[in-house]
Amino acid sequence: MTKTEELGTVPAPKLRLPLPQIVPDVYRAMVGLNKAAEAGFDPVLAELVKIHASMINGCAFCIDMHSTDALKGGESQHRIFALPAWRETPFFTAKEQAALALTEAVTLVTQGHVPDAVYEEAARHFEQEELAQLISLIVTINAWNRFAITTRMSPAPRAAE
């Protein structure tokens, strides 16, 4: 019996819509937006931001993809696992904490918009251009999350680890 069978895991939901094939121009535009938002930005921090927003949004596809990318880029499992409780850990720098707080505020924008204190803390740690890129990165991952969740993209099954 496999680990998946032992846990009684349900198969991945059926993909509703193959977005890249149906609206390739939109998909290419999103890929371009993503590349522009990441250009010159710290790749480790970019993956932490993407994972964190994806965790907040409950996007399994993006959590899987960006956790895998982060691990390949040298990020530790320890820090990835700690992201939901980043405020309670000593694992993240002040700059990373400011980025994670801004990620939460932008992702949960309906819960009080982006508070001045959160924005000002991020502005203390990031130069204006870098802050603009961070905001762009957060907005972009939230858009990707919404595409993936709505169309029911799911991570590819993996062999038991």
What is the chain's mean pLDDT, rounded?
A: 92
Q: 144, 29 in Cβ contact below 8 A?
A: no
The answer, yes or no, to whether residue 51 has pLDDT greater than 70, is yes
Find, among 116, 119, 140, 142, the residue nearest to 131 by Cα. Answer: 119
| Domains within the chain, CATH numbers bracketed | 22-151 (1.20.1290.10)
Q: For residue 26, name the pLDDT band (cuts at 50, 70, 90).
A: very high
Which pLDDT value is given to residue 108? 97
Cα(26)–Cα(118) distance, integer angstroms: 32
Cα(67)–Cα(145) distance, integer angstroms: 14
The answer, yes or no, to whether residue 28 has pLDDT greater than 60, is yes
pLDDT in tens, 63-93: 999 999 999 999 999 999 999 999 999 999 9
